[in-house]
Every structure is written in C-alpha cells, then in structure tokens.
Amino acid sequence: MTKAPRAGRVKTRLTPPLTPEEAAALNTCFLRDTTAAISTTAAEGVARGIAVYTPVGADTAYVGILPVEFELVPQRGDAFGERLIFAMEDLFRLGFESVCLIDSDSPTVPQRAFTEAATTLAQPDDAVVLGPSEDGGYYLIGLKKLYRELFEDIAWSTDRVLQQTIERARQMNLKVHLLPTWYDVDDRKTLRRLCDEFFGPDAPTGVGYPAPATRGYLGGLLKQEGRDRIWPNEALP
C-alpha cells in the first residue's frame, strides 16, 4: 500500500525535522527497501509483489523505484478501511490464493516476517496473519479470502487497531497468527529510533532488514550537516 512519493504529500509528520523534499526522498527509500525485501520473498517462490498505489494516474512516479517484476494496481475508495477492502478485492480478483497488505512506513521489518506470512497462508487452514506495530496498529495483514468485517468499524489511526482486529477475527472463529512486532517511522521520535537502529552505538546487528537505501540516504544527510537537526542527542518528549 503506497502513496506516490511527492514533496508535501507524503511523510508530512516528519516535517520538521525534515524538509518536504527530504521527507519525499526518504519515503522513496522506504519503498525501495520494502519492495526489495518483498522481492526476496518472491524469489523464494512463495510470493509476488504488487504496489497498490494512490493517486490514480501517478504510476509514472514509481519508475526506477520499484523492482522491475512489481506490478501496479491503483487504489480505490475514500476512507482508509474502504481502501484496504478494495485492495484485497482487486488482488483476489487477479487470481491470488492469498493476499498480504503491507504498509510502506516500516523499512526495517525483517524479511523473514514476509516469508513467514506467505508460508503461513499457504497452509490448508484458514487464518488471518497480522504484523503488530508498536503503536497499536499493524504493518501487515494477510488473508486467504476477503473478510470485510476485519476492516469495518475499526478505529483507524489509533492504538486500538490491532486489538480490535484480533477481537473481530476471534469472533469470526478465525485463527490469528502474529508475526514479529515492529515499528512504523512516521514522526520525529520514530525517525530518531530509526537512526539509533542504523547508527547508534548499541545498534542491533542482524535483527531488522538492513534497508540499504534508507540507511544510505540518512547517513548522507547526517554526514552533510551533522546530527542535531535529524538525530539530536537530547531525549525527545
């Protein structure tokens, strides 16, 4: 699920500390890294990558960003839950036996999480696969058939999204499979956390996806002007 990376239209909660142009460039890097991780899963023979994008007609914005094997499908609908329903509907109509919708805000989600989602959905039993985000949402939802109820009457953009979705699935007697919990990068605090993950003295190794495009872009900004604006030393509120 992606929005065309245009300045002033994407990652607006990252401005400041980033400029609108920097936020759009960072969003482009997120797309490069997330689709590269998905492509690795596809290369294992268990998945195929599709970019479900908005706005309609912005397909040329993705030239040179997405892997060549990715296809583009325009988003439909207005409200967020409606867009997810229509994305599932359109992808199942293309003939897929299962579908995972993945956000474009979490460039370091471990690639193994995508493989786990695909292999879980390849099993005979019906299930919903969820990748929990630390803010109470999810970075991935995977289904073997479209269940509209999982997207209806959900308090989107709140810390109740994941729990409401799990409760709805259990009410429907759907098995819930949880992937590793990760985090979205959508504000100043989580941008700092991303820099900590890449460049901090206690940065973990081999845990998250290395996200080379994102790491390279942020590293270039820090080298160019120091860390104060983007990755300050003092604690953030």
Residue spans of the domains in the chain: they are 2-225
The percentage of residues in the chain with a pLDDT greater than 70, rounded to a whole number, is 98
Amino acid in position 6: R
- pLDDT of res. 47: 84
Region 199-212: mean pLDDT is 86
pLDDT at position 207 is: 87
Q: How confident is the model at residue 44 (pLDDT cuts 50, 70, 90)?
A: confident
State the Cα–Cα distance between residues 48 and 149, nearest whole angstrom: 25
pLDDT score of 96 more than 80: yes
**Closest Cα to residue 115, out of 226, 209, 8, 237?**
209
Higher pLDDT, residue 205 or 209:
209
Q: Which sign does the torsion angle of CA 129, 48, 107, 199 carry?
A: positive
Long-range CB contacts for residues 22-29, cutoff 8 Å, separation at least 24: 22/221, 25/217, 26/214, 26/217, 26/218, 27/3, 27/104, 28/65, 28/213, 29/107, 29/211, 29/213, 29/214, 29/216, 29/217
3-state secondary structure of 87: helix
Q: What is the mean pLDDT of residues 129-145?
A: 98
The pLDDT score that the predictor gives to residue 225 is 86
Quick one: which of 44, 194, 188, 175 has its CA closest to 108? 194
What would the CATH number be for the domain defined by 2-225?
Answer: 3.90.550.10
Between residues 46 and 211, the one the model is more confident about: 211
Q: How confident is the model at residue 205 (pLDDT cuts 50, 70, 90)?
A: confident
DSSP for residue 145: S
> Once rounded to an integer, what is the mean pLDDT over residues 17-44?
93
236, pLDDT greater than 60: no
Average pLDDT, the chain: 94
- Give 219's pLDDT tier (boundaries 50, 70, 90): very high
Q: 130 Cβ partners below 8 Å, 6+ apart?
A: 138, 140, 141, 142, 162, 165, 166, 176, 177, 178, 179
Q: If pLDDT is split at 50, 70 and 90, which confidence band does 203 have?
A: confident
Average pLDDT over residues 122-131: 96
When pLDDT is cut at 50, 70 and 90, the band that residue 45 belongs to is: confident
Q: Give yes or no for residue 237 having a pLDDT over 70.
A: no
pLDDT of 235 > 70? The answer is no
